[in-house]
Amino acid sequence: MRIVTYMLLLSLVPYFGLGQNKINGKVVDQLGFPVYRASVEIDATDIVAYTDYDGSFLLKSEKDFHWKVNIKSKGYKPQSFFVISGGNTGDIVLEYDATIKELLDGNSSLDQKFYRNSWGKAVLIPKSEILLAGVFNF
């Protein structure tokens, strides 16, 4: 009798996982690096997941598939796509927004003011501010 009970319980185990639909994937940038803390949300719901340090995410929902999924992260263009069935989406590539593209191309005013013009120039520090290990004063 015990064997029949155990077999019945083990045969029901796959049905416990059918209550939630899952989708997982990885969010990367245009260079292939993972995007950390990007929000991945199902459109028109409160279901949100955030990518981990590896860019991976996992969304679970009681709703059947045919979801619209929105991905957002600072420095990247927002992206939306449709999920027809569950499983692994593979790598989802986010494009850089205009400000990040300017920095990478070297065309931004920030890059020109602080980095390129200061290369090779001496840095002057007033003598009154130089104090080494609290012992030497110039």
List, for residues 34-88, the tens digit of each pLDDT value. Answer: 999 999 999 989 999 999 999 999 999 888 778 899 999 999 999 998 888 888 8
pLDDT value of residue 6 = 52
pLDDT value of residue 133 = 46
Of residues 8 and 137, the one with the higher pLDDT is 8
What CATH code would you report for 2-95? 2.60.40.4130
Of residues 11 and 101, the one with the higher pLDDT is 101
Collapse the DSSP code of 46 into the 3-class scheme (helix H, G, I; strand E, B; otherwise coil) and give the result. Answer: coil
Of residues 40 and 19, the one with the higher pLDDT is 40
pLDDT value of residue 110 = 59
pLDDT value of residue 19 = 55
Residues 78-103 have pLDDT tens digits of 999 888 888 888 899 999 998 888 88
Q: What is the pTM of this model?
A: 0.64
Of the CA atoms within 13 Å of residue 25, those in its CB half-sphere come to: 24
- Which residues lie closer than 8 Å to 37 by C-beta, 6 or more apart? 50, 51, 73
Of the CA atoms within 13 Å of residue 67, those in its CB half-sphere come to: 27
In angstroms, the CA 43 to CA 69 distance is 6
Could you state, in order of their start, the residue ranges of all structural domains in the chain? 2-95
Mean pLDDT of 107-129: 56
pLDDT value of residue 69 = 93
